[in-house]
């Protein structure tokens, strides 16, 4: 199958005869996903709320010095990162196509595998954020606002969304593949192959995801919880379940692209 044929085939998913069953399967997968992960979501949100109120209480009661304040914020940030990494791992493990029964034993067994990947992705996101802020200062220091607009309004969002989608696919291939160095290389090749050979389909999905994210951001003043909470409570589980369904569909419709051994 050529690249153009694969692109056309991926867009065939939006034909009415294909879209209706796909949407029904995805909706069922989302419902099943929430049925599995809701205890983890509730506990994680309570833990994050406790951290936030504990940090605020500590600051108001003890009036710490700048050094103590920075240390406390670092500790709280680190714990929050671990919590979000666990949420991220649980969502992927629950959405992962598998015949295994997804009970507590299943999550405990696979969490040790998924958590390092989730932490790595979190660290990469932090590095990208730091680089983005440094680049912002450089852009305005050189008095090039137009370049900054093109970069931050167009190139950076598209690049980050495509990179995030690659990480989603990488995670599913990683969970189903061998955990060796060569296995990681093959996982990356397969994830990149699926992304490239289905780029029009994934582009439409990430644009839809970006629009939903923007809508949630606009509604934030009207909602009682922080933005990240809504992202992990609403957007991430739904989008990951959608990508899991696409992953399964494309894996079965294009097996020769992914089953063969990568060099």
Residue 262 has pLDDT above 70, yes or no: no
Contact 14, 200 (CB under 8 A): no
Q: What is the per-residue pLDDT across 81-90, written as a single tens digit (0 to 9) for each? A: 777 778 888 8
Torsion angle in degrees (nearest 10) through CA of 219, 224, 229, 232 = -60
**Cα distance between residue 79 and residue 51, in whole Å:** 9
Residue 255 has pLDDT above 60, yes or no: yes
Lowest mean pLDDT among 1-10, 63-72, 188-197, 215-224: 215-224
Count Cβ atoms below 10 Å from residue 53 Cβ, excluding itself. Answer: 10
- pLDDT bracket for residue 192 (50, 70, 90): very high
Residue 75 has pLDDT above 50, yes or no: yes
Averaged pLDDT of the chain: 77
pLDDT given at position 194: 92
Q: What is the per-residue pLDDT across 198-226, written as a single tens digit (0 to 9) for each? A: 999 988 888 787 777 677 667 665 555 55
CA dihedral sign of residues 84, 88, 91, 93: negative
Contacts of residue 210, Cβ cutoff 8 Å, sequence gap at least 6: 157, 161
- What is the CA 77 to chain-centroid distance, rounded? 19
**Cα distance between residue 129 and residue 113, in whole Å:** 26
Buried-exposed string 161-175: b where 16+ CB fall within 10 A, e elsewhere: beeebbbbbbbbbbb
Maximum average pLDDT range among 1-15, 47-61, 227-241: 1-15
Q: Using alpha carbons, select from 205, 168, 160 the residue that is nearest to residue 187.
A: 168
pLDDT given at position 33: 92
Greatest alpha-carbon pair distance for the chain in Å reads: 66
Residue 247 has pLDDT above 90, yes or no: yes
Q: What is the per-residue pLDDT across 119-166, written as a single tens digit (0 to 9) for each? A: 666 665 555 555 555 555 555 555 555 555 566 556 666 777 788 788
Residue 263 has pLDDT above 50, yes or no: no
With a pLDDT cut of 90, the percent of the chain lying above it is 12
- pLDDT bracket for residue 25 (50, 70, 90): very high
Q: Using alpha carbons, select from 82, 76, 57, 46 the residue that is nearest to residue 233.
A: 46
Tokens of 129: 């954020």
Domain positions in the chain are 3-258
């Amino acid at each position: 199958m050529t690249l153009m044929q694969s692109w056309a085939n991926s867009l065939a998913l939006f034909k009415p005869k294909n879209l209706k069953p796909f949407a029904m399967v995805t909706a069922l997968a989302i419902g099943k996903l929430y049925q599995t992960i809701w205890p983890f979501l509730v506990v994680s949100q309570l833990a994050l709320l406790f951290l936030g109120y504990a940090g605020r209480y500590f600051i108001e009661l003890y009036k710490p010095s700048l050094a103590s304040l920075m240390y406390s914020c670092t500790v709280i940030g680190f714990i929050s990162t671990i919590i979000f990494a666990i949420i991220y791992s649980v969502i992927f493990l629950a959405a992962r196509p598998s015949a295994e029964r997804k009970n507590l034993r299943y999550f405990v067994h696979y969490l040790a595998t998924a958590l390092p990947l989730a932490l790595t992705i979190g660290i990469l996101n932090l590095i990208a954020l730091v680089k983005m802020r440094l680049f912002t200062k450089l852009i305005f220091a050189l008095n090039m606002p137009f370049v900054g607009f093109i970069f931050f309004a167009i190139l950076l969002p598209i690049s980050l969304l495509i990179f995030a989608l690659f990480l989603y696919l990488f995670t599913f291939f990683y969970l189903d593949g061998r955990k060796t160095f060569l296995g990681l290389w093959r996982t990356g090749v397969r994830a990149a192959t699926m992304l490239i050979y289905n780029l029009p389909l994934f582009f439409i999905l990430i644009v839809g995801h970006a629009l939903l994210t923007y809508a949630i951001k606009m509604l934030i003043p009207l909602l009682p919880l922080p933005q990240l909470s809504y992202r992990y409570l609403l957007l991430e589980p739904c989008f990951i379940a959608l990508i899991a369904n696409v992953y399964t569909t494309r894996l079965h419709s294009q097996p020769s692209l992914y089953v063969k051994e990568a060099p």
